[in-house]
Amino acid sequence: MTQVPLTNLIAPSFYDIHHALKEDRYTHYWLKGGRGSTKSSFISIEIILGMMRDPDANAVALRKVKENLRESVYEQLLWAIDVLGVSHLWHDSVSPMSLTYMPTGQKIIFRGADKPKKVKSSKLRRGYIKYVWYEEIDEFAPGDIRTINQTFLRGGPTFTVLYSFNPPQSQRNWVNGEVTEKRADRLVHHSTYETVPREWLGEQFIIEAEHLKKTKPAAYDHEYLGEVTGTGGEVFTNLAFREITDEEIKIFDQIRRGVDFGYGKDPFHYGVMHFDKTRRRLFIFHELQKLQLSNRKAVEHIKAENKSNRQVIADSAEPKSIAEMKECGIRIKGAKKGPDSVDYGIKFLQDLEEIIIDGERCPNTKREFYGYELDPDGNGGFKAGYPDRDNHSIDTARYALEDDMKKPKSTSKNRVVGVPAAAQIPSW
């Protein structure tokens, strides 16, 4: 192999990941960032190097749409072969599209995932698929990835799955939520053009970036820094995701519990949280969300969690379910709803200093709060009212905190001129 200093090919921000890949520390590598961050260049170099080190390693590169393969991952991997000075060791083919390491017969195959269930591996001369590269992972659906990984992640001792993307603007997009999840076998990395040598990008790239920074800073933050700037329709901007420890929970003394009933299309949701009134922080640390959960099974769970049988506040639209739970010994009451209770409750939650959610204990709560956005109206604005979907944990929190809201009476002296009563934030 021609000796090429990797420092001439890999930006400094990727040095640590290079060592992690070389030592097989993780299975899943989520590489996100803005334009010019060189994440795709880095991945292509690592796949070529990794295959040339490991004679049993093969690779597959994927795009959601098959037609995009040649102009993206295929050309990117050819570039890596060229800059590493090993073109004489590789054979490239367009029909079928593949790259072959000639000394051993190892292959890089290319697949479009328009129909994920039909994505299949090829017959390999030797070894197994060690490297799986999803370029523009945000174009895929989570179910696509599970199906494809089940196809390729078998038959070998170690695997390296690489996901590259520019974060979508909307926090509702599944991939922005996915990278906040913690897994022992996962590394998440963020890179920008600012950590790349200027000469690699060229002066015009820098000029364009700086111009956008001056004229449209929000667009610059999203496009060049890879930040999730939002669409403007995000409902909750006061969220924090972290572990809430057993030690913290032991000293929580303002526990609130709520229930949002559901069965078939909508799930039953039970949530437990601590409300720090002084610091105006809500800690959500326990959930049960399940479809087709009987009231009997729900009662069993609530009794096991709520051993002291503290008050539970539930959706009052289900009086029969509330009565059944009462008969089983649960201290439960229906929430006091009104014509503006949804708006009022959401604005109460929005006005909190922080909503801290333990994503490990409460994955559905995290997903719903993080992804809750207003619906676009098609004209650059947003529809009035809050969407009534994927909000079971949010409704549960509203019910649980009902007694803490202390809604003022709707009189003229409580209103601000020109502002609807439902849109006002209570004073504290």
How confident is the model over 27-45, as pLDDT tens digits?
Answer: 999 999 999 999 999 999 9
**One domain for residues 247 and 130:** no
Which amino acid makes up residue 377? D
Residue 388 phi, psi dihedral angles, 5° rounding: -100, 65
pLDDT at 421 over 50: no
* Number of other residues whose CB lies within 10 A of the CB of residue 152: 24
Please state the pTM of the whole predicted model.
0.76
Q: Is the pLDDT of residue 427 over 70?
A: no
CA proximity to 261, closest of 303, 302, 290, 300: 290
Helix axes 392-400, 363-371, angle to 10 degrees: 100
pLDDT bin (cut points 50, 70, 90) of residue 424 is very low
Domain that holds residue 273: 239-376+385-404
Q: Lowest mean pLDDT of 176-180, 237-241, 417-421, name the range.
A: 417-421
Quick one: which H or E segment has residue 144?
helix 142-152
Q: Are 320 and 314 in contact (CB under 8 A)?
A: no
- Whether 63 maps to a domain, the answer reads yes
Task: Please spell the DSSP secondary structure of 274-308, one letter per residue.
Answer: EEETTTTEEEEEEEEEETT--HHHHHHHHHHH-TT
Listing DSSP states for 33-53 in one string gives E-TT--HHHHHHHHHHHHHHH
**Euclidean distance between CA atoms 81 and 87, whole angstroms:** 6
Q: Same domain, yes or no, for 276 and 184?
A: no
Do 244 and 99 have their domain in common?
no
Residue 74 sits in the same domain as residue 111: yes
The candidate with the shortest Cα–Cα distance to 155, out of 25, 61, 60, 56, is 56
> Where residue 122 falls among pLDDT bands split at 50, 70, 90?
confident
Distances (CA, A) of 168 to 136, 165, 222, 279: 10, 8, 8, 33
Query: How far is residue 272's CA from residue 252's CA, in Å, rounded to a whole number?
Result: 11
pLDDT at 409: 52
Q: What does DSSP say about strands 312-314 and 281-290: parallel, antiparallel, or unpaired?
A: unpaired
Domain edge (last residue) among 225, 256, 283: 225
Q: Is the predicted pLDDT of residue 207 greater than 70, yes or no?
A: yes
Count of structural domains, the chain: 2
- Burial of 57 from C-beta contacts in 10 A (0-12 / 13-18 / 19+): buried
The token pair at 8 is 């001439």
Q: Which residues, at least 6 apart from 211, have a Cβ–Cβ distance to it below 8 Å? A: none
Residue 420 belongs to a domain: no
Residues 172 and 74 in one domain: yes
- Are 61 and 98 found together in one domain? yes
What is the rounded average pLDDT of the residues 171-186?
A: 88
257 in the same domain as 131: no
Which distant-in-sequence residues (6+ apart) come within 8 Å of 111 by Cβ? 60, 61, 62, 66, 69, 119
Could you tell me if residue 419 is inside a domain? no
Sheet holding 332-334, edge to edge: 239-241, 354-357, 281-290, 268-276, 255-260, 312-314, 332-334
Token look-up 């650059």 returns 380
Mean pLDDT for the stretch of residues 336-362 = 92
pLDDT at res. 310: 96
Confidence label for 116 from pLDDT (cuts 50, 70 and 90): confident
Domain presence at residue 281: yes
* Same domain flag for 89 and 127: yes
For the chain, what percent of residues have pLDDT higher than 70? 94
Alpha-carbon separation of residue 236 from 210, 226, 266, 347, 386 (angstroms)? 31, 20, 22, 9, 12
Residue type, 21: L
Rg for the chain (alpha carbons), in Å? Answer: 26
Greatest distance between any 2 Cα atoms in the chain: 84
pLDDT tens per residue across span 261-282? 999 899 999 999 999 999 999 9
In this structure, the answer to whether residues 190 and 321 fall within a common structural domain is no
Domain end among 225, 259, 291:
225
Give a yes or no: residue 334 inside a domain. Answer: yes
Q: Do 220 and 248 belong to one domain?
A: no
In a domain, 336, yes or no: yes
Across residues 68-82, what is the average pLDDT? 96
Residues 69 and 112 in one domain: yes
Q: Is the dihedral of CA 18, 22, 23, 29 positive or negative?
A: positive
CATH code assigned at 183: 3.40.50.300
Active site residue 402: no
Among 233, 304, 228, which Cα is nearest to 272's?
Answer: 304
Q: Which stretch of DSSP H or E encloses residue 118? A: none
Residues in Cβ contact with 248 at an 8 Å cutoff, skipping those fewer than 6 apart: 283
Reported confidence tier of residue 231, pLDDT bands at 50, 70, 90: confident
Query: How confident is the model at residue 173, as a pLDDT?
Result: 87
Contact between 344 and 359 under an 8 Å Cβ cutoff? The reply is: no
Catalytic residue among 23, 46, 71, 136: 136
Distance from C-alpha of 127 to C-alpha of 2, rounded to nearest angstrom:
24
Asked if residue 359 is part of any domain, the answer here is yes
Confidence of residue 376 (pLDDT cuts 50, 70, 90): confident
Amino acid type, 179: V
**246: CATH:** 3.30.420.280
How many residues in the chain? 428
Nearest-angstrom CA–CA distance, 349 and 338 = 17
Mean pLDDT over residues 396-400, rounded?
97
Q: 200-209, 229-238, 399-408: which has the minimum mean pLDDT? A: 399-408
Please tell me the distance from the alpha carbon of residue 74 to that of residue 98, in angstroms, as a whole number.
8
| Same domain membership, residue 191 and residue 248 | no
Q: Does a structural domain hold residue 47?
A: yes
Residue 425 has pLDDT above 60, yes or no: no
Instruction: Report CA dihedral (205, 209, 214, 218) to the nearest 10 degrees.
Output: 160
